[in-house]
């Protein structure tokens, strides 16, 4: 079976008072999943907005990946009617 799909990802960054928040939305065409991330600048650190953006965005993408994996495992369980054990190579695995 050959198949092509296009999923759209949008990343939003918000900064206020030394805190950067990120939200990443994944739209598969049938489902929208959202990941969130936060980065805080310590008072004694030099404020470099790009670093806050990178940290918050990476955390949002990690959160999205975890949510996507949970959704996939849920779909597999629905199809198989079985509970899947965690896998050692998947960070944040569920069981």
Share of the chain above pLDDT 90, in %: 67
Is residue 3 assigned to a domain?
no
What is the count of structural domains for the chain?
Answer: 1
Is residue 17 assigned to a domain?
yes
pLDDT score of 79? 85
Domain range for 64: 8-80
- More confidently predicted of 53 and 17: 53
User: pLDDT tier at 95 (50, 70, 90 boundaries)?
Assistant: very low
Tell me if 84 sits within 8 A of 77, measured CB to CB: yes
pLDDT score of 81? 77
For residue 57, give the DSSP letter. Answer: H
- More confidently predicted of 33 and 90: 33
Is residue 58 assigned to a domain?
yes
Check the CA dihedral 49-17-55-59 and report its sign. Answer: negative
Q: Is this prediction's pTM over 0.85?
A: no
- More confidently predicted of 84 and 31: 31
Is residue 51 assigned to a domain?
yes
CA distance to 30, 48, 63, per residue, from 18 (Å): 36, 9, 21
């Amino acid at each position: 079976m050959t198949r092509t799909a296009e999923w759209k990802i949008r990343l939003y960054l918000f900064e206020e008072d030394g805190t950067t928040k990120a939200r990443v939305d994944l739209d598969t065409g049938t489902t929208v999943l959202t990941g969130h991330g936060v980065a805080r600048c310590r008072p004694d650190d030099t404020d470099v907005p790009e670093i806050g953006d990178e940290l918050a965005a990476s955390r949002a993408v990690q959160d999205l990946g975890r949510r996507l994996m949970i959704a996939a495992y849920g779909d597999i369980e629905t199809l198989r009617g079985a509970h899947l054990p965690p896998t050692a190579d998947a960070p944040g695995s569920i069981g």
